[in-house]
Structure 1
Amino acid sequence: MDIVLAGLKWQCCLVYIDDVVIFSPTFEQHMTDLERVFQALQSANLTLKASKCQFCRREMRYLGHIITQNGIKPDPDLIKSVTNFPQPKKIKDVQSFLGLTGYYRRFIKDYSKIVEPLLQQLRNSQQGNHQLKWSKECTNAFETLKKKLTNAPIMNTPNFEQPFILELDACEYGLGAILTQEYDE
């Protein structure tokens, strides 16, 4: 699919394995973009299964996110697995929790700083100490991540008519940068 739609990727469509998302600024343009994608698929003798297709959507669930004309946010149904995650009792639990939250790290400001106590648990286990030594700092990091994910911001598309705000941060165990814009609700 990547090869077949290579000339259209990022212009009007995104491809992940066999999923294709077609995006357009207007309905009229969407019809044109659909036709271009259909022609490319037809030229490669590929067919679509109608029951798996959705057309002209203003909102969709895709790879753990909800995508709308206003932006992208974490899928609340998947965030429930984070908010319902019990406090880790083993190193493997910490790894699982960080795997879940790490997928959405772009929505959490200062993610690297917040997770540091949990990452320290993993580093300790790699040095042969496989006992989980849960601390007040670990509890704070664990609960903060849950809270921030349930109140995650919507990532909007950039508005090149408005100024951008670049925030940089660094400390002894991490560094980060975030590019933001202020939007009127």
Structure 2
Amino acid sequence: MENLLQGIPRVVVRVDDILITGSSKSEHLNNLETVLGKIQESGMRLNKDKCVFLAPEVVYLGHRIDQYGIYPVESKVKAITEAPEPKNVTELKSYLGMLNYYNRFLPDLASNLAPLHELLKKQKQWEWDKSQQEAFELSKTLLKSSKVLVHYDPNKDIILSCDASPYGIRAVLSHKMEDGCDRPVGYVSRTLAPAERNYSVLEKEGLAVIFALKKFHQYLFDRKFTIYTDHN
């Protein structure tokens, strides 16, 4: 299915899930007609009971999507925020797996979760102390307070804000909106390797920029954008 519909504007395919969008009703209908035509030509059939047309919002791959942006699905957020404290490595991996599914909504997630990831290291004895408990509770707070991610729009001003801490690097891709406010398109972060922690502050900031450029390459390539850092 992905190969069949590849290249059609504003159409996303994951296995047999198809999401068709448009900046206007007419564009949406044109894209829908193109997709249905391709499917008909291929001889494939669709289950009409599983099809939804011209919906103001949809739930797709664990995300709620409408004209304003992308949100985590409330039922999944509830499952994460009500998850009990992990008692072993297996339970911790399960929790982190659920949380990481929404990492694009969570600023500086890698650094905030560093105490939890410490328990996943080989030969590390399981010891859940205050730092792990605080990181666990903070991760839930971040998810519950996460903001809507606006849809990427190549016609809007693009801003890439990068930062570094002693233990991690992070970035947020944003749009400058009509009201003058910056709205996030997505967040990325990672912890620093032991050798990277010895970098100077300026080197860490540079590393954050390189990391962000790679992560957001599909949005930034061949486009004008502004980079913000703490150092010039």
Structure-1-length-normalised TM-score: 0.90
Letter paired with 2:65: I
1:2 matched to 2:2: yes
Task: Name 2:142's counterpart in structure 1.
Answer: 148
Please give the root-mean-square deviation of Cα atoms over the aligned residues, in Å: 1.7
For 1:82, the equivalent position in structure 2 comes to 80
Matching of residues 90-169 of structure 1 within 5 Å: 90-123=88-121, 126=122, 128-129=123-124, 131-159=125-153, 162-169=156-163
Shift of 1:163: 3.9
SS in 2 for 1:181: strand
2:29 and 2:154 mapped to 1: Cα distance? 25
Q: Write out per-residue CA displacement over residues 85-108 of structure 1, whole angstroms, 9 at most, x where no aligned residue.
A: 101111111111110111111101
Deviation at 1:171, TM superposition (A): 3.6
- Per the alignment, residue 18 of structure 2 pairs with 20
Q: How far does residue 182 in structure 1 lie from its aligned partner after superposition?
A: 5.1
Residue 170 of structure 1: how far off its partner (Å): 2.4
Give the gaps of 5 or more residues in structure 2: 182-232
The SS at the match of 1:4 is: helix
Q: For residues 45 and 160 of structure 1, do their structure 2 counterparts lie closer, same or farther at Cα, with a shift above 3 Å needed? A: closer
CA contact 2:107–2:170 (8 Å) conserved in 1: no
Partner Cα separation in structure 2 for residue 160 and residue 23 of structure 1 = 16
Provide the residue aligned with 1:45 in structure 2: 43
Distance 1:104 1:55 in 2: 26
Cα pair distance change 1:93/1:23, threshold 3 Å: same
Separation in 2, partners of 1:103, 1:30: 28
Aligned residues between the structures: 179
CA distance in 2, matches of 1:88, 1:182: 40
Following the alignment from structure 1 to structure 2, what is the Cα–Cα distance between the partners of residues 35 and 179?
A: 33
What letter matches 2:3 in structure 1?
I
Other-structure match for 1:175: 169
In 2, Cα distance between the equivalents of 1:93 and 1:14? 33
Deviation, structure 1 residue 46: 0.8
Displacement after TM superposition at 1:48 (Å): 0.8
**Tell me, what secondary structure is at the counterpart of 2:18?**
strand
Runs (5+) with no aligned partner, structure 1: none
Q: Does 1:64 align with 2:58?
A: no
Spell out structure 1 runs of 4+ moving beyond 3 A.
158-165, 181-185
Is 73-82 or 26-35 further displaced after alignment? 26-35
Q: Aligned pair in 2 of structure 1 residues 87, 182: CA closer, same or farther (>3 Å)?
A: farther
